[in-house]
Amino acid sequence: MLLNDFAANDELKFELTEAMKARSLPHAVIIEGEKGCGKRSLASVLAAYAVCTSSGDRPCGVCSGCVKAAKNIHPDIFVADGNNSGELNIESVRRIRSDAYIKPNEAPCKAYILLNCEKMLPAAQNAFLKVLEEPPENVMFIMTALSSANLLQTVRSRSRIMTLYPPSVNEAVAALKRIRPDISEEIISQSAADSGGNIGAALELIASGGEEEKKTAEEIFRAIPQSTEYALMLASGKIARNRAFAVAVLDRLCSLSAECVRASYGAADAGSAARELSERFSRKKLLKLQSTILHARDVLNINVNLNFYSTWLCAVLRSE
The whole-number pLDDT of residue 314 equals 94
Which domains, and CATH codes, for the chain? 3-163 (3.40.50.300), 209-319 (1.20.272)
pLDDT of residue 151: 95
Per-residue pLDDT at 227? 85
Which helix (H) or strand (E) segment holds residue 77: the answer is strand 77-81
Give residue 209's pLDDT.
Answer: 59
pLDDT at 66: 97
Question: For residue 33, what pLDDT is reported?
Answer: 92
pLDDT, tens only, 243-282: 878 888 898 899 899 999 999 999 887 788 888 999 999 9
What confidence tier does 241 reach under pLDDT thresholds 50, 70, 90? confident
Find the helix packing angle between 243-264 and 199-208, rounded to 10°: 20
Average pLDDT of the chain to the nearest whole number: 91
Q: What percent of the chain has pLDDT over 70?
A: 98
C-beta atoms surrounding 129 within 10 Å: 17
How far CA 300 is from CA of 13, 216, 252, in Å, comes to: 38, 17, 14
Per residue in 138-182, pLDDT tens?
Answer: 999 999 999 999 999 999 999 999 999 888 989 999 999 999 998
71: Cβ–Cβ under 8 A, 6 or more apart, which residues?
none
170: Cβ–Cβ under 8 A, 6 or more apart, which residues? Answer: none
Of 67-81, 134-148, 192-206, give the lowest mean pLDDT range: 192-206
pLDDT greater than 90 at residue 214: no
- For 83, list phi and psi in degrees, rounded to 5: -75, -15
Q: Where does the pLDDT of residue 70 fall: very low under 50, low under 70, confident under 90, or very high at 90 and above?
A: very high
pLDDT of amino acid 191: 83
Contact 196, 167 (CB under 8 A): no
pLDDT at 304 over 90: no
Q: What is the pLDDT of residues 26-45, one digit of tens each?
A: 999 999 998 889 999 999 99
Other beta carbons within 10 Å of 17: 13
Spatial contact of 79 and 69, defined as CB atoms under 8 Å apart: no
* Distance between CA atoms of residues 190 and 172, nearest Å: 11
Tell me the pLDDT band of 64, cut-offs 50, 70 and 90.
very high
For residue 160, list its beta bridge partners. Answer: 29
What per-residue confidence (pLDDT) applies to 233? 94
> pLDDT band at residue 108, thresholds of 50, 70 and 90?
very high
pLDDT tops 80 at residue 49: yes
| pLDDT for 270 | 79
Identify the top-confidence range among 88-92, 275-279, 316-320. Answer: 88-92
Q: Pick the more confident residue, 201 or 235.
A: 235
pLDDT beyond 90 at 302: no
State the helix-helix crossing angle for 169-179 and 199-208, rounded to 10 degrees: 50
- For 204-253, give the DSSP string: HHHHHTTHHHHHHHHHHHHHTTSSSSHHHHHHHHGGGS-HHHHHHHHHHH
Is-cis flag, bond preceding 225, omega within 30? no
Whole-number pLDDT of residue 210: 63
